Structure 1
Amino acid sequence: MNYTPNSSPALGLTISPTMDPVTWVYFSVSFLAMVTCVCGMVGNAVVIWLLSFHSAQRSPFCVYVLNLAVADFLFLLCMASMLSLETGPLLTTSTSAKVYEGMRRIKYFAYTAGLSLLTAISTQRCLSVLFPIWYRCHRPRRLSVVVCGVLWALALLMNFLASFFCVEFWHPDEYQCFKVDIVFNSLILGIFMPVMVLTSTIIFIQVRKNSLMQRRRPRRLYVVILASVLVFLTCSLPLGINWFLLYWVKLPQGVRFLYICASRFSSSFSSSANPVIYFLVGSQKSHRLQESLGAVLGRALRDEPEPEGRETPSTCTNDGV
């Protein structure tokens, strides 16, 4: 097994009875990650398909969720492609290396976009909690659309700059490219991660306080946001910090590689978990197997209080964009 600085195993690996334990673990985790990626792509494709039918009147959080589902789908597609290239000689070596590097760059582009979109979701929800009058009366009508567009452009710009500096000035010096990735990764995590944690903590405190004072269940949208952020912090964050561990912490090669495999699987699980969260939170216990997926998803993303003892309308069009 070849352990490289940019966390890329050798291409064209095959299973052999003489493989070492680390390689066997790699193939096992890669298989689990591949299955997770396929299931996650199906789930996110369903979310994209359902939300696309409400393009005329879509709530701000439906816009964010639609864009997040696209980012997660792209991330999982690239992860599955990388795993396929690593575990089988699908292409020639030179072509595989180029395709693999392209998939790796697109994967981190999707990772950056997903992280920023999830931060925007928690931030806008936090603003609606702290400043409800402003949010209802003075929030720009197309704020969510503009924010999503800016975040996609920012993620594309940062990843383009990282690729440009790497290829233009230091190719084929992988160690210099590795340091460039560390710099941009530090900027991404250093900006978005604290904002996500802070806003999510504020949301949790406000939801907890309102639940105790009003003795009412929290809105499903709060649960969706907090659950998505929690899953990201526990499962997808290791992929974002693995560069720091590889660069600063002197770990044995086998341990480093096993950490890479684990972070890949956990990040794949994180990107696959959001559709499951939406449908679990949005489902009614008494009608769990009778409602359409669109009705369940619309209820989970509803940005209004839920009447006590009554079923809420299943809509994703309760608020203008």
Structure 2
Amino acid sequence: NPGVLGSSPASGSSAGTAKVLSSLATFTCVCGMMGNGLVVWLLSCRGQRTPFCTYVLHLAVADFLFLLCTAVTLYLETPMLAYEVMERVRSFTYTASLSLLTAISSQRCLSVLFPIWYKCHQPQYLSAVVCALLWALSLLMSVVAALFCSEFWLGVESQCLTVDSVFSFLVMGIFTPVMVLSSVTLFVRVRRSSRQWGRRPTRLYVVVLASIVVFLLCALPLGISWFFLYWLDLPQEQKTLFRYVACLSSALSSSANPVIYFVVGSQGRRGLWEPLGAVLHRALREEPEGEGRETPSTGTNDLGA
């Protein structure tokens, strides 16, 4: 049950701290929306996409919507129906982002553990189907939570506690452990292969691990505040400050992915004036760079093959 950021106004220094955190979170959200919007535009301009480009496109959409809802809820008064709707949409996009990252790490792990199956037997539209199912699951979870926990519906506290317990088990007991396990497996396997065969890890490997590490460090506090903090008997002032910190950290997490893509895909000074589409394509390549050769720039913003 998403908490109410402004349910009890803080006083003195706490109010000043909350205002600073709110301003920083708003600035981060605006920058993050610009970055994720750029990623969506670059990937949408390309006709045929790799499976991981499909995942990244959906992840960028989820992060963009999450940042938009976060920025809006920071300035809405409560209780209001509009605030409740935005909080539910924010919860929906947060769950979608978490599940998409889990799918990305799991599929990348499978591509390293079973490369022959991945290249020859993977269904063509697997990534698109998985993304659709994860969006549907996230929407279902949010609708159920809205029905049982909303102040504007006939929500019962005991039913809301049950719903929160089930969802916290899905998020903290399934999605997060699977993401961590697949990431650790991927890291160990790639490091071992690099030492044994002297091969450099692909840029996509770095992108996946960096995105997951940032999410675990920055975005999990928001999930903790949603699923656990609401039921703890803490002073309202402490809850409010923690929620602002969680908003800022989660905004940083959703804003960091475009930065990761372009930093990992860049070539330093050599690629300073390189088209952003080429940089993004290089970061999301599944194949190792052949004999140190890079994909040449085309002078356009198209991702290219």
2:3 aligned partner? 7
Aligned residue for 1:84, secondary structure, equals coil
Cα-to-partner distance string for 1:133-162 (whole Å, 9 max, x where unaligned) = 111110001100111111111111111111
Aligned residue for 1:270, secondary structure, equals helix
Query: Partners in 2 of 1:222 and 1:264 — Cα distance?
Result: 28
Cα-to-partner distance string for 1:222-274 (whole Å, 9 max, x where unaligned) = 00000000000000011111135425644343332221111110000000000
- Count of matched residue pairs: 301
- 1:49 to 2:41 alignment: yes
- 1:223 to 2:214 alignment: no
- 1:181 to 2:177 alignment: no
- 1:145 to 2:128 alignment: yes
**One of 27, 30, 39 as aligned partner of 1:38:** 30
8 Å contact from structure 1 (residues 282, 296) kept in 2: yes
- 1:29 to 2:29 alignment: no
- 1:66 to 2:57 alignment: yes
The Cα RMSD (Å) is: 2.5
Aligned residue for 1:139, secondary structure, equals coil
**One of 262, 271, 274 as aligned partner of 1:288:** 271
2:220 aligned partner? 237
TM-score for both structures, normalised by structure 1:
0.86
- 1:128 to 2:111 alignment: yes
Which segment is superposed worse, 213-222 or 100-109? Answer: 213-222
8 Å contact from structure 1 (residues 22, 258) kept in 2: yes
Which segment is superposed worse, 147-156 or 162-171? Answer: 162-171
Query: Partners in 2 of 1:175 and 1:23 — Cα distance?
Result: 32
Provide closer, same or farther for how the CA distance between residues 213 and 247 of structure 1 changes in structure 2, counting only shifts above 3 A. same
Aligned partner of 1:81: which letter? V
8 Å contact from structure 2 (residues 8, 237) kept in 1: no
1:197 aligned partner? 180
Aligned partner of 1:42: which letter? M
8 Å contact from structure 1 (residues 71, 113) kept in 2: yes
Query: Partners in 2 of 1:169 and 1:8 — Cα distance?
Result: 14
Deviation at 1:83, TM superposition (A): 0.9
Deviation at 1:216, TM superposition (A): 2.9
Query: Partners in 2 of 1:165 and 1:12 — Cα distance?
Result: 23
1:90 aligned partner? none
TM-score for both structures, normalised by structure 2:
0.91
- 1:77 to 2:68 alignment: yes
Query: Partners in 2 of 1:84 and 1:248 — Cα distance?
Result: 24
Q: Unpaired segments of 5 or more residues in structure 1? A: 87-92
**One of 142, 147, 169 as aligned partner of 1:159:** 142
Query: Partners in 2 of 1:62 and 1:151 — Cα distance?
Result: 16
Instruction: Percent identity, please.
Output: 58
2:238 aligned partner? 255
8 Å contact from structure 1 (residues 11, 97) kept in 2: no
Query: Partners in 1 of 2:34 and 2:186 — Cα distance?
Result: 30
Query: Partners in 2 of 1:168 and 1:8 — Cα distance?
Result: 11
Query: Partners in 2 of 1:12 and 1:168 — Cα distance?
Result: 16
Query: Partners in 1 of 2:183 and 2:290 — Cα distance?
Result: 24
